[in-house]
Chains A and B, each alone.
Chain A
Amino acid sequence: MSAKNPEYDFKWCPGCGDFGVRRALEFAMQDYSAYHEQPMANTVVIAGIGCSGNLVHLLEGEQPYGFHGIHGRTLPIAFGAKMARPDLNVLVVAGDGDFLSIGMEHIAPQAARNLDVCCVIMDNGVYGLTKGQSSPTTDLGVITSSTPYGKMEGDLNPLDYYLSIGVSFIASGYSSKPKDLGKLIQAGMEHKGFSIVHVMSPCTTYNDNYEQLKGNAKKGVESIIFDVPKGHNASDREAAHKLINSGKIPIGVVYQNEARLTLDKRLGDLQGRVKPKSVQEQLGVFEF
């Protein structure tokens, strides 16, 4: 049940990381709206299928437009909406299963186009809504309901993948720090180009890795995340590559290339440059 709609019956489990992501997104959208003096209706949130996608129904406060589509296809929907209406602020919210498994084929084309949308990916390393199957980011060897004898596939490093295909803004976040995460999402929205904020957002039911993320000194568990160092030069691709492959997960803006033109900018230039023929003129071409 959401605060705004008693009929809506979906719930996240207590402690789900997605609560924090939702708050962070609310902060970011509100700040964006205020800063750009735009109505919230100018923002569109395209959601995937899975626990994460339900975020679009659970947003509190002033409502943006939403689209809860089909599994794996957030980016194509966002692509159509943004290119049709470059004036809109288009966001994608999806999980690791939706975005990186069934939807994987759509990431590289948007990176090549430098589509100006911001994706917030909630990575819990598992398929939660279907009750605990392995996902691309589940670690090698882990036992899940679909890998009863241990996962046989290597686990994907999403940040490394994004960097390799030329995503122009890559940030890494953690759901338990909604204020910081909100700033990352805002930076992603402000970035002119294709931005991905990849968030560690634990599943308390099927893949509770809060302890590894936070660390536990008493038990001698070392945290697997670290803040991006102050001196990191995000425009340096090599530095980003090193940071991503350091063995732990950096939290912060990892990479940003501000030099590339966005697809809507290129298209806008084209629309201004090419003089269109009217339909009547086009028909005239066939006249004899």
Chain B
Amino acid sequence: MRDLIVLSGSSNPQLTARICKQLGVPKGEVISSKFANGETSVTVVDSVREKDVYIVQSGCGHTNDNFFELLIMISACKTASAKRVTAVLPLFPYSRQPDLPYNKNGYSVNGKREFDSSPGTPIPNSTTNESTDYLTSSIVKDTSNDMRKSTLLNQPVPTPAASSSSSLLINNTEDTPTYKEWIAQSGTLVANLLTTAGADHIITMDLHDPQFQGFFDIPVDNLYSKPLLQHYIANNIPDFQNAVVVSPDSGGAKRAIAVADQLGMSFALIHKERRYRKLINPTTLDQSLLISSTITPSNSNKVIATTMLVGDVAGKVCVLIDDLVDTSYTITRAASLLKDQGATYVYALVTHGVFSGDAINRINDSAIDKIITTTSTPQDGHAKQLGTKLEVLDVSRILAEAIRRINNGESVSMLFEHGW
């Protein structure tokens, strides 16, 4: 292909190799290493003068190192007179922005933190809450919980169990709301950094928030893995018309419904209630209210997060659909809830399988019968540990076709619906 060169960052070389194979071009040679002090060093071996350069780098592994490597590569190509530099980020780094719900009083910052500044603020009855998912673990673990607790307690609980709620909850009004915390929103920053480094075009896949495109001043092509997932469901799940597509949280409902609509399947939704309340006697819980609960032990308080299922899955095969699995808390908890509700078999389809921390072990022990992910992040290591539980779909064809079309100046939108 004319003037086209594909370079690979160190996050996902296998994917780049596959993309190059699809395109029928040799992979551009880049030597990336680190100086002894940890600074990244990049050497672009092949000439890029007046070429259309595509740099493939996923936001996985050591995200900051990989992101910086990408910035340096973009900048190096730009200063080496490349005609156009396109960053191909199958998994976009920092795409999940912390969006903790604000309440009218703002957040209390009277919390104990991992990296507390001096002078530290002592807090009475601080709960140590094991972070269970990305949102709660993202920034303010304990403080926000305290805040939410105290606001919750001031309102009647709108449930059938409201009458008994007074026995469940005890007052905790020692936290006084202070300044509303300022939380870094790194989306625009990451977009600006890529543009500043010299990127002319971005290709990514299944952005967590589609609004992210608006942060850029350059074109962003957001590709979808939906056709691939649909293809998998239609061909690999027996009697898929009677299966239920389930979204593990309310944020991903739109994504899951789109798949369900296309394939004519029914749909269910798991709603995570992140309310935290103090329990006196957990056995008095109203079972209709709390279908599944995670009780985190702490010295004096019980903090519970409840998950509710909306829809019927009894005796059915369930297909969980999500864009990203990182710590896997959300998806494993969703799977166990589905099994509790009588689901016979649980598939989990996720575009980006990051599986950081203990995620693999958690999935192995979970109620998920089969997890399907894509090559947007390296899966070789995961495949070894998960064995037949894991199936990997190849996204290199979609990315390669997008690169080919962008290089030729053809439309990309056909890929959105039909895949490749």
Q: Do A and B come from one complex?
A: no
Give chain A's interface residues, CB within 8 Å of chain B: none
